[in-house]
Amino acid sequence: MEQRALGASGLSVSPIMLGGNVFGWTADARTSYGILDAFVAAGGNCIDTADVYSAFAPGNEGGESEMILGDWLTKSGKRHDVLLATKVGALDGEGGSGLKPTRIAAAVEASLRRLQTDVIDVYFAHRDDPGTPLEETLAAFDALVKAGKVRAIGASNYSAARLSEALAISDRNGWTRFTVLQPHYNLLYRDEYEGPLRELALAESIGVVPYFGLASGYLTGKYRTPGDLSGSRSRAANSHMEGKGPAVLAVMDAIAAETGASLPAIALAWLREQPGITAPIASATSTAQVGELIASATLTLSADQSARLTAAGR
């Protein structure tokens, strides 16, 4: 599988990133190990997680995904075959909350322990923290890079204005700058990325790895009627059943008939082809689903097919 440069980070990633949000939630440890084995065996090399995964599942406290991933890395011996991306800022704990320097310093040590590694390849600010001065947050991230605990830093859920401000602060102080962006972006959710944020990413050579590429499962075609709404993601998928959602699925169904590709592969292939996108993030709860993710990395849509999808999702 070809690899793509991840912006100006100096890292190269496969054209699909595996989302680790399901580990310890809808995929238990054994299932997660199988998913990770299949992804790497197929040529995938980047895995995205966060310290808060999966605190949203009953009985969990956060860190479960990182622990499963760390156990797999140790047991499989594949640490040097993958790039690890994790996040700070959505889970309160030692050192406080948000992106306070004390929280970042404590959280990175906890993530390193859970991941059973001595360096994180990409460390994301999970979401903007208006209550903490950007200068303090960026200085804390820069210290981690200089200490060799983090290789590159990224911004998730940042507006164009705040990302631009952060870049200017880093440049002014000679600090490590954000070189990766993780926005919410898919066929049905376009406005947040398309526009000033995309233009900034392109102008500043920032790699873009969008999340929710399958719109919480809606773009897999699993949820077409109210009777289909079951499972952990059904509430989020329900929001797409009205408006442009059915029209997008109709176009995807037609393209599936034309190409023989699955709906997940089509949705991710469209996303991968958009300006500035390095690799979309998508999760899997079975090895069969990993195959669909991998298929998206080699699927090339025709210009007409891409245009039909783009128009349907507007």
The pLDDT tens digits of the residues spanning 35-75 come to 999 999 999 999 999 999 999 999 999 999 999 999 999 99
- The DSSP element (H or E) to which 98 belongs, if any, is none
Structural domains in the chain, CATH included, are: 4-215+267-299 (3.20.20.100)
Helical H segments across 147-286, by residue range: 160-173, 196-203, 234-238, 245-259, 263-272
- 53: annotated active-site residue: yes
Q: Residue 57 has which token pair?
A: 């599942």
CA distance 113 to 110: 5
Contacts (Cβ under 8 Å, ≥6 apart) of 302? none
- Cβ atoms of 224 and 230 within 8 Å: the answer is no
Helices (H) and strands (E) counted in the chain, each on its own, are 11, 10
Distance (Å) of CA 257 to CA 149, 246, 249? 48, 17, 12
pLDDT tens, position by position, 283-303: 999 999 999 999 999 999 999
Single out the catalytic residue among 53, 158, 189, 211: 53
Residue for token pair 């699909």: 16
CA distance 276 to 279: 9
* Sequential pLDDT tens for the chain (314 residues): 889 999 999 999 999 999 999 999 999 999 999 999 999 999 999 999 999 999 999 999 999 999 999 999 999 999 999 999 999 999 999 999 999 999 999 999 999 999 999 999 999 999 999 999 999 999 999 999 999 999 999 999 999 999 999 999 999 999 999 999 999 999 999 999 999 999 999 999 999 999 999 998 999 998 887 777 666 556 666 778 888 999 999 999 999 999 999 999 999 999 999 999 999 999 999 999 999 999 999 999 999 999 999 999 98
pTM higher than 0.75, yes or no?
yes
